Amino acid sequence: MSERSETAEELRTARLWLRRPTEADIDVILGVHSDPETCVHNPSDALTRHEEAEQLYRRWDKQWQQYGYGYWVVGRHDDARPLGFCGIKPMELHGQQVLNLFYRFAGSAWGQGFAGEAATAVTTWAAAQVPDIPLIARVRPANVASQRVAHRAGLSRARHLDTEGYDGFDWIYVAQPERWAP
Ligand SMILES: CC(C)(COP(=O)(O)OP(=O)(O)OC[C@H]1O[C@@H](n2cnc3c(N)ncnc32)[C@H](O)[C@@H]1OP(=O)(O)O)[C@@H](O)C(=O)NCCC(=O)NCCS
């Protein structure tokens, strides 16, 4: 587990760095999650107070400690400022353990392919490092940008797995359709 944690803490893509969050990222966590635009489709994720962002950071950090992976902070190689977040969280889907793929970027970073690039890196990393747990994404039906990001990361729609989520009905995307035969 410790070996996995060391290698997981920093990933690189053509344009992006991904790193484990630190306490110094709490303000960025609040900034991204308090912009109403970033939580339109997932209002249960919206934050308004610093204390809430601190609690969310603690949950993210606890998962990193427990599993050796989690949500990464994402930014450009030539800029230390974070653009957003992308990562995986263990959860259950229809009674099976899965890794849920997450991405949320500041509105100013949208439309430049960053989320697709980060989600591809995370999906590739999970396939290599956590191959036993299937990776999925839960996307609200109207969230077309998120659906495109899931496709770009190699996931495909699995209608038979669609289910109620925290904010209403979710469409389910899976990385390995063969593991989820209807
Ligand atoms: C979803 C989100 C991460 C996409 O970020 P992004 O950096 O703009 O995504 P990308 O630039 O990588 O675009 C990926 C694809 O989505 C498309 N796309 C982006 N915004 C779109 C929009 N508003 N409507 C339709 N398609 C859109 C892009 O054209 C691209 O398509 P392609 O793969 O066919 O070229 C961003 O919109 C976001 O943070 N949203 C709020 C949080 C959220 O909804 N997270 C997902 C929860 S399930």
CATH number for 97:
3.40.630.30
- Distance in angstroms (rounded) separating the CA atoms of residues 135 and 89: 9
Predicted local distance difference test score (pLDDT) of residue 132: 96
19 lines ligand 1 (CB under 6 A): no
* 112 CB within 6 A, ligand 1: yes
How many angstroms separate the alpha carbon of residue 44 from the centre of ligand 1? 19
CB 99 less than 6 A from any atom of ligand 1 = no
Mutating to test ligand 1, I would choose from 34, 122, 149, 152 the residue with most ligand atoms within 8 A of its C-beta, which is 149
CA–CA dist 109, 102 (Å, integer): 16
Range of the domain at 91: 2-180
Could you list the pLDDT tens digit for every one of the 182 residues in the chain?
Answer: 434 444 689 999 999 999 999 999 999 999 999 999 999 999 999 999 999 999 999 999 999 999 999 999 999 999 999 999 999 999 999 999 999 999 999 999 999 999 999 999 999 999 999 999 999 999 999 999 999 999 999 999 999 999 999 999 999 999 999 999 88
Using CA atoms, how far apart are residues 140 and 135, in angstroms rounded to an integer?
17
What integer pLDDT is reported at residue 16 of this predicted model?
Answer: 98
Alpha helical stretches, state H, 35-163:
50-67, 114-129, 144-152
DSSP 147: H
Cβ within 8 Å of residue 77, ≥6 positions away: 12, 15, 16, 17
Domain count, the chain: 1
